[in-house]
């Protein structure tokens, strides 16, 4: 799943706030989703409380967002070899570059 990061104050839920649910998927992060349909919406990384990582699949026009880095590089599928020079983080952005 592809994600983009934005400053938390730029994340605006226009409707359906009553359907939002969070799940502490690990000690590092909380995953937010729609409780009505189950759509994953964003991940709140406790190490980066000033930003929110949201799923590009939630956008009407996901092609307008360009990737800026790769996360969880250490656990990618071996054949996944993007043809870019973007930063690659073994897990989260706070763990240094791979």
pLDDT at 28: 85
- Chunked into runs of 10 residues, the chain (98 residues) has average pLDDT values of 86 92 92 93 89 86 86 88 88 72
Residue 98: the pLDDT is 64
Q: How far apart are CA 82 and CA 95, in angstroms?
A: 20
83 in helix, strand or coil? coil
What DSSP string describes 31-62?
A: EEEETTT--EEEEEETT-TTEEEEEGGGSS-G
Break the chain into its structural domains and give their ranges.
3-10+21-95
Q: Which two tokens stand for residue 37?
A: 């349909």
56 neighbors 37 (Cβ within 8 angstroms): no
- Cα(6)–Cα(24) distance, integer angstroms: 20
């Amino acid at each position: 799943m592809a994600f983009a990061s934005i400053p938390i104050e730029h994340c605006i839920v226009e409707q359906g706030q009553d359907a939002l649910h969070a799940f502490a998927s690990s000690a590092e992060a909380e995953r937010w989703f729609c409780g009505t349909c189950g759509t994953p919406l964003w991940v709140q990384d406790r190490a980066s409380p000033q930003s929110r990582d949201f799923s590009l699949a939630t956008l009407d026009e996901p092609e307008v967002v360009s990737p800026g880095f790769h996360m969880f590089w250490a656990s990618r599928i071996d054949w996944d070899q993007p043809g870019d020079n973007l930063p690659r983080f073994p897990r989260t952005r706070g763990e240094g570059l791979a």
